[in-house]
Amino acid sequence: MQDQIGDRTRNAMLSVMNYIDLTMQGVYEMSSVLANDPDLQRNFEHAGDRLTPESILDFQKATKQLISVTSNNQVISQASLFHYDSGTLLSTTGYQKEERKEELEWVQQAIRANGRVTFYFPQENRYDANGKVDPVYSTNNMVVMRLINLLNPQRNKNILLLPLKKDYFTSLIESLLPSSSAQLFLTTEDGQVVAGTRTKDVQLPIWQDEDRDIVIREIPGYDQRMLMVRATSKTSGWTLTMIQPEKDVFQQTKQLQLWIYMIIAVSLFIAIWISWFVYSGITKPINQVVQAMRQIRIGKMDTQISHQRTDEFGYVMDSFNHMAMEQRHLIEDVYEKQIMLIKTEMKLLQSQINPHFLYNTLDSIYSEAILNQADDIGEMVMNLSKFFRFSLGKGKEVYTVSETFEHIRYYLNVQQRRFDFNISFHLDERVKHMKILKLLLQPVVENAVLHGLEKKSGHKELTISAKARDPYLIVEVKDNGIGMPENRLAYIGQELAKISAKGSDLLMPEGQTPTELFGLRNVKGRLKLHYGDSAELDIRSGSGEGTSVMLLIPLDSSIVTDHGREDGSETT
């Protein structure tokens, strides 16, 4: 910035210097024309060391000639001629006699210049006979001097003097002042001050950095750092120097800098505020979700996030609420199923006679039948006793398929004593060691005997089979009994389908008789509770065509062992 400001100022100063050079070039040419003017020289040639009327007349002619040349020139205040032999100083305002001409500094300076242009700077004012300041001795002027008759400078020592107004140069350079505290100095090649904006109370400082035209440094006599810029004419060698306080130079820049700092501060504040707003907008919903997750973790499954957001976070919160609700419903379903399972088991146990009491009583009846040689009764009692012992099962909940078939065989042996029917078992070797719930098959077999075969006349056949058909273990109970009409089959299917509906009672609906579909409902309910929705109970029947009931149990829910019964015995 220092260089840019200095360069701009220096360029402006060089422009003014070019104008000053043109002005001075005109002055030099005028001095050359006057110094070589034949008429002017002729008027001075006849005058001697004593003035005569003729020489005075010649001086008057020369003075008129000067007036005609300088009257319209705004730079030259008044032209003067010095006749060396007589010591007379002629000007447009009058004549003066210099008594000690040899001692005059400006005279000796012009003689030493030997016809070249030289400059004289009066140090104090001197007044003429009319009480006016002589132009040659005015401190407000710079006097341009040269000898007359340049073609023969040794013939005489007459001098042409052209006083130049310093105010003219001052008016030229004042336009360059950037501020009231700045100063400008116009100096000649040898360092004489031609003009300045404050030359009375300020001296031009010495330029210490000759290789630079723009510097900022401390200057003796100034209480602050100053910017110094100079512009030197390549034609005349004159120099224009500007001195300005550094703070003035950078005052506007500092104000701009202050505004920039304020803008930066405001921008930083706004950026922080926006960042905090964005951060809060992100962290607040995240914290809400995290807190809700913590509530879910400690078991508060009814936790929901209240919000009115419609953005992505709102979608996440809605998804969380939906997930929490689904989780709660899932847990409630599990609890409900567990409760329903317990209720179903309790119903099953309540529907049976106490096995401990019953099979102990049956053992007593069996012993009495053997003592009385009633073998058939004894065998029925023994099978019935084994059936109830198996039902109790010492707390076991599952049995292998082969054990289940053995249990069913005890029940069927008792029923065969009541009426005659054929029984056939078909057990696939791949499924004989798979485990299923106890008493799951017994109600189906009981229905087949009591409702299908008992009411049929003629040949009666009951077939029980188990096989694997991916993805199910299929256990089928099939009879050739009286079957069911189509409307009865539809009713049973409709009632059992209600068990699959969410929230339905797996037990007997209120208002129905205790025996209405109790066995099938029990089987269907236990299938759903233990094996899930993929387990099914399939019933097919027709009037007079028998009935087929299939239990479809997922293979991945069956427990496969390497041995038969858990007590180590094999089923035969």
Please report the pLDDT score of residue 9 as a whole number.
82
* Single-letter residue type at 199: T
Q: Residues 262, 289: contact at Cβ < 8 Å? A: no
Please report the pLDDT score of residue 157 as a whole number.
81
Residue 195, SS3 per DSSP: strand
Please report the pLDDT score of residue 564 as a whole number.
37
Please report the pLDDT score of residue 353 as a whole number.
42
Cα 175–Cα 178–Cα 182 angle in degrees, nearest 5: 100
Please report the pLDDT score of residue 78 as a whole number.
77
Please report the pLDDT score of residue 405 as a whole number.
92
Reported as a single tens digit per residue, the pLDDT across 397-421 is: 788 999 999 888 888 888 887 788 9
Q: How far apart are CA 569 and CA 572, in angstroms?
A: 9
Please report the pLDDT score of residue 519 as a whole number.
83
DSSP one-letter string for 343-374? HHHHHHHHTS--HHHHHHHHHHHHHHHHHTT-
Please report the pLDDT score of residue 295 as a whole number.
83
Reported as a single tens digit per residue, the pLDDT across 207-238 is: 777 778 888 888 777 778 888 888 888 888 89
Low-confidence ranges of the chain (pLDDT < 70): 1-3, 45-46, 48, 51-52, 69-74, 77, 92-93, 129, 150-155, 199-203, 252, 342-376, 378-381, 383-395, 500-515, 558-572
Q: Residues 546, 480: contact at Cβ < 8 Å? A: yes
Q: Is the peptide bond before 220 cis (omega within 30 degrees of 0)?
A: no
pTM of the predicted model over 0.85:
no
CA distances from 283 to 271, 278, 310, 545 (A): 17, 9, 16, 71
